[in-house]
Amino acid sequence: MTPLVTKIKKIILLLGDLGILYLSLYLTLLIRYGTDISGQTWQNHLTPFTIIYLTWVIVFFIIDLYNLNIAHDASKFTKKFVQALAINTLIAVAFFYLIPYFGIAPKTNLVINIVIFVILAYLWRMIFNTVISRSVFANRILFLGPQAAFLDLLPDLGHGRYHGWKVVAIWDPEQTKEYKRDGIRFFKNTTPLSEAIDQEKINTIVLGLSPQENKQLARELYKSIFKNVSVINLPKFYEIVTHRLPAELLSESWFLENIKEADKQFHDWAKKAYDFLLALVCSILFIITFPIIAAMILIDDGWPIFYSQKRVGKKGKIFKIYKYRTMRRNAETQGALWAKKDDDRITRVGRFLRKTRLDELPQIINVLKGDMSFIGPRPERPEFVEELTEMMPFYPTRHLTKPGLTGWAQIKYEYAASFEENLKKLQYDLYYIKNRTLILDFKIMLKTLGIIIGRKGQ
C-alpha cells in the first residue's frame, strides 16, 4: 500500500459526510412536509443548505475530523465533533438570520436537520472505522530486516497500528526460530519470503536493510512484484505514517536524493506573493487590536509592550523577531532558557495571548521585511542553534527555507523544552522542507486557525 490508501480513506470519509448531510436534509423535509415534498420546497432549501454544508466541511477539516488517528479514537472524535457542531450551528444561525437573501428562516428545520445529522454521522463513523478502514483497506505490513531496528520505532508507530497500517510479520535475516508475539509473527530466516507473504496476506513490505547487500534477498523481493505487493524503505514508511522524518535513519546520501530545492522555486515564489498580501491584510488586524492588547499588557505587568529577540533565519541569517511581551520582566536574568508548557514565567495576559496566538501579530513586521514567512519552521535563537547543531548535524537543513509564524511542527507538536524534544520537532520541519507545497501551506493555515479557535496555543 502507498499514501494513496490514506487519501482514499479520507476521500471516502469526506464523501460519506457529504452524503449524510444531504440525506439529513431530505429526512428533515420529509418529517416536516410529509411524503409530498414538492420540487420547489427541495429547491428552496438545496442552495442555502449546500452553502452551509460546504462551510461545515471546512470547519470539520479545521477541527481535525479528517485526521484518521482522531477518527479512530472515540473520545477524541467526540470532543472535536461537539466543538465542530457548536461552531457549525452558530454559522448556520448567523447565515439564515443575517443573510435573508434566500427567503427562508428554517428554525425548526435547522434543529431537526442537526439532530438527524448527529445520529447519522455517528453511525457512519462507526461503519467507517469497523468495516471500511480496518477491513476493506487494511494495510498488512511485513518488516524485512533486523527486528531491533523496527521494534525501536513501534512506540512512535502506535505499536504497529497507525493510520490503518498493521504490522503483522517480521522477517529477520538473523532469526533462527519462528514464533508469534503481540500479534506479530516472527519468521525464521529459512522461510521463503514468498511463503511468508502468502501466509500472512501481506500487501506491503517495509525494507529495514538494503537488497543490494544480499543477492538472495534481492531475488526474493523480485518475486514479490508478481504478488501485487508494494515495497518501500523504512524512512519512507516512517514518513508516510508519522508525517515526519526519522533523523536517526537519515544520511548525507538521503538528503542528496530527497531534498531538491530546485523543484521548490515556484512554491517559494508564490509564497512571497501570498506572504505580502496576507501581511497587508493582517496589518489591519494588528493596528485595530494594538490599543486593546497594549492596554491589557500595561495593566497586567507594565512596560514594555513588545519583546524583541535575535533569531536565525534562512541560510543562517540573524534577524530580530518582534512579539507582544508574554513573560514577566527580567524573565531570563539567568540566561537563555527553553520555553516550556505551563511556564511559570508567563503572565496572565501572556497566557491568553499565547493561547490565541495573538502574541505573534507583531511578526507581521518581520514578514513585510522579508525575514519571515507565514508558514515555515519556527526561527530558533542563535545560542540554541549552535548547541542543537552539535547534537544534530542535520539541524541547519531547516534553514533552507524562511522561518514562519506557524508551521508543520507547530501544529503537530507542542513546545520543545529540551534537546530531545527539539529533535522530534526537527523531524517535522524536515518533512515540511521536503514536501512543502502550496496545498500543504494551506492545510497548515487551516489547522492553525483551528488551534486559534480552540485556544490550544502554547
- pLDDT tens, per residue, the chain with 458 residues: 445 666 777 888 899 999 999 999 989 888 887 766 667 778 888 888 899 999 999 989 888 888 776 766 666 777 788 888 888 888 888 887 777 665 566 778 888 999 999 899 888 887 887 666 555 556 788 888 887 777 666 666 555 455 567 788 888 888 888 988 878 899 988 888 888 888 888 888 888 877 776 677 787 777 776 777 888 888 888 887 788 888 777 888 888 888 888 888 899 999 999 999 999 999 999 999 999 999 999 998 888 999 899 999 999 999 999 999 988 877 666 655 666 666 678 889 988 898 888 899 999 999 999 999 999 999 999 988 988 888 888 889 999 999 999 999 988 887 666 777 888 889 999 999 999 988 889 889 888 887 777 655 55
Estimate to the nearest angstrom the gap between the alpha carbon of 417 and the chain centroid: 21
In degrees rounded to 5, what are phi and psi of residue 406? -140, 165
CATH assignment at residue 162? 3.40.50.720
Do 292 and 428 belong together in one domain?
yes
Radius of gyration of the chain (CA): 26
Assess if residue 253 is contained within a domain.
no
Do 131 and 144 belong together in one domain?
no
Q: Omega before 304 cis (within 30°)? A: yes
How far is the C-alpha of 135 from the C-alpha of 144, rounded, in Å? 24
Q: What is the pLDDT of residue 280?
A: 92
Assess if residue 85 is contained within a domain.
yes
Picking from 112, 136, 160, the residue at the C-terminal end of a domain is 136
How many CB atoms are located within 10 Å of the residue 447 CB?
20
Assess if residue 358 is contained within a domain.
yes
Which helix or strand (DSSP H or E) is residue 180 part of?
strand 179-181
Assess if residue 203 is contained within a domain.
yes
Task: Show Cβ contacts of residue 418 under 8 Å, excluding neighbours closer than 6 positions.
Answer: 338
In degrees rounded to 5, what are phi and psi of residue 403? -70, 160
Assess if residue 414 is contained within a domain.
yes
Picking from 93, 120, 136, the residue at the C-terminal end of a domain is 136
Estimate to the nearest angstrom the gap between the alpha carbon of 28 and the chain centroid: 35
Do 447 and 364 belong together in one domain?
yes
Do 46 and 189 belong together in one domain?
no
Three cell numbers, residue 288: 485595530
Assess contact for 293 and 353: CB atoms under 8 A.
Answer: yes
Q: 166: which strand partners?
A: 140, 161
How far is the C-alpha of 47 from the C-alpha of 53, rounded, in Å? 10
In degrees rounded to 5, what are phi and psi of residue 22? -70, -35
Do 183 and 238 belong together in one domain?
yes
pTM over the 0.75 mark: no
How far is the C-alpha of 137 from the C-alpha of 266, rounded, in Å? 35
Three cell numbers, residue 91: 454559522
Do 191 and 309 belong together in one domain?
no
Assess if residue 271 is contained within a domain.
yes
Number of domains in the chain: 3
Do 337 and 431 belong together in one domain?
yes
Assess contact for 24 and 56: CB atoms under 8 A.
Answer: no
Q: Taking phi first (over 0 means left), then psi (-120 to 50 degrees means alpha), and beta for anything else, what does residue 146 get?
A: beta
Do 126 and 151 belong together in one domain?
no
Do 124 and 232 belong together in one domain?
no
Q: What is the pLDDT of residue 388?
A: 86
Closest listed residue to residue 104, CA positions, set 23, 33, 19: 33
Q: What is the pLDDT of residue 232?
A: 84
Angle among Cα 361, 367, 372 to the nearest 5 degrees reads 105
Closest listed residue to residue 221, CA positions, set 233, 206, 211: 211
Domain residues for the domain of 382 are 262-453
